[in-house]
Structure 1
Amino acid sequence: MADEGDVLTDLNLDPAAGANGADTRPTAGFISQYIKDMSVENPNAPAVYQWNEQPAVDLQFNIGANAVNEEVSEVELKINVEAKTDSGALYLIELVYAGLVGIRNMPEDQAHMFIYAEAPRILFPFARRVIADATRDLGFQPLMLDPIDFNGLYMQRLQQKAAEEAAAQGGDAPAGDA
C-alpha cells in the first residue's frame, strides 16, 4: 500500500499507460481562473439613490479564447452590464473573467467545443457572483444573472456557420432548387 505522499504525486493512474507515464487519454480541465479586467462605475451617485424608476438592464456577453501554448488556452468570458432609467445611468459594469484551460490528446472538434461551450459554462457562476457582488457594493440590489445555455449557443453558432458556408459555396441559388 502506498503512503499518502505517493498517492498525491503519482498521477499515472493507468498502469497500462506505460512505464514512462505516457498517457494518451483525452484530458481537459482548468488550471486557474481569475478576474482579468473589471470596471465598475456609479456615474450619478449620490443622486441615483433618490430615483424611484425601474431601471432597464442591458446585458451583453462574449466568449474569447487565446492559445497560450499547445496544451493551454485562456478562455475569456466578457460581460457588460448597464442599468439605466430615464433620469440617467445607475451603473455600468464591465468584466472579463478568464480561466486557463489545459487540453491534451483531444480531437480538435471536441477541444473547440470544450473551449467555447463547456469552459464558459464552468466560468459563468463565478463571473455571475462577481457581478452580483459588484452591484451590491454599488449600493443596489445584487444583480443575479440568469443561467446561460452555452452548449445550445455553441450548437446554434455551428449551424449558422455551416449555413453561411453552404450559401457561399452554393452561390445565389434558392434553397430546394437542384
Structure 2
Amino acid sequence: MADQSPTQPNAADAAAQAAAPLTVVHQYLKDFSFENPNAANGFAPLKEMPTGYIRVDVRVKPMTPPDIEVSLFLAAEAKIGDTTIYVVESEYAGVFRLGKVPQEHMLPLIMIEAPRLLFPFSRQLIATAVQAGGFPPLYINPVDFVQLYRDRQPDLQEAIKDAQATEGAKA
C-alpha cells in the first residue's frame, strides 16, 4: 500500500514549476475609478438604452528578470444622448514570472496569456462597481487578446527596435 501522508515539495516539483512558461506571482488592483455624475438627480428609470464604449489596453513594465508587470486597463463610458450616465476605469495588474521559453514566444505570453489571466478579475470589479452605482452590472464580453496583439504587433515591433537601439547606444 502506498504511503498517503502529506509530502514535502521535492526537487521534481520545483523543477516543474520553474519550467512553467508563465507563472502568476502576484495580482492586484492598481487603479480604479467610478464616476456617477448624475447621481444627485435621482435614479429614475432610464428612458432609453445607454450607448457608449469600452476601451481595452495592455501595459507592460519590466521588472527584475525574470519578472514582469502586466496591467490590463479596461474603461467603459455609458451615455444617453449627450448625458454621461457613468464612467468606470480599472487598471488590474499582475507580476508574472517568465520561464525558459524561446524568444519568439515571450511577447505573445506577455501580451496574450497574461492579460487573459487578469481579465476575469477586472471584469468582475467593473460589474460590481457599476451595480453599486445603481445600474445593472456591466458584464464586458470576453476580449480577443490574440486579435488585440495582432493589431498592435507593428507598434510593438517598433518599440522593441527602439529599445534595442537605445541599449546598443548605451554599450
Q: Normalising by structure 2, report the TM-score.
A: 0.79
User: 1:5 deviation in Å?
Assistant: 4.2
Q: Normalising by structure 1, report the TM-score.
A: 0.76
Distance 1:40 1:53, change over 3 A: same
In the alignment, what sits opposite 1:4?
A: 6
Structure 2 Cα separation of the partners of residues 72 and 162 of structure 1: 19
Structure 1 unmatched runs, 5+: 15-20, 165-178
Structure 2 Cα separation of the partners of residues 141 and 24 of structure 1: 43
* Equivalent of 2:28 in 34, 42, 46: 34
Provide the secondary structure at the position in 2 that maps to 1:35.
strand
Structure 2 Cα separation of the partners of residues 2 and 107 of structure 1: 38
In the alignment, what sits opposite 2:145?
A: 150
Structure 1 Cα separation of the partners of residues 156 and 98 of structure 2: 25
Equivalent residues in 2 for 1:8-157, closer than 5 Å: 9-13=9-13, 25=19, 27-47=21-41, 49-50=43-44, 51-86=46-81, 88-157=83-152
Structure possessing the higher radius of gyration over alpha carbons: 1
User: 1:10 deviation in Å?
Assistant: 2.2
Report if aligned partners of 1:48, 1:90 keep a CA contact under 8 Å in 2.
no
How many matched pairs? 155
User: 1:27 deviation in Å?
Assistant: 2.9
User: 1:11 deviation in Å?
Assistant: 4.8
Which consecutive segments of 4 or more residues in structure 1 shift more than 4 A?
A: 160-164
Deviation readout 1:25-68 (Å, 9 max, x if unpaired) = 45311111111000111111132622423211211111001111
Report if aligned partners of 1:39, 1:95 keep a CA contact under 8 Å in 2.
yes
Structure 1 Cα separation of the partners of residues 137 and 18 of structure 2: 45
One-letter amino acid of the counterpart of residue 35, structure 2: E
User: 1:163 deviation in Å?
Assistant: 10
Which deviates more from structure 2 when the two are superposed, residues 50-59 or residues 110-119?
A: 50-59
Deviation readout 1:84-107 (Å, 9 max, x if unpaired) = 112611111111010110112122
Structure 2 Cα separation of the partners of residues 95 and 89 of structure 1: 18
One-letter amino acid of the counterpart of residue 4, structure 1: P
Structure 2 unmatched runs, 5+: 159-171
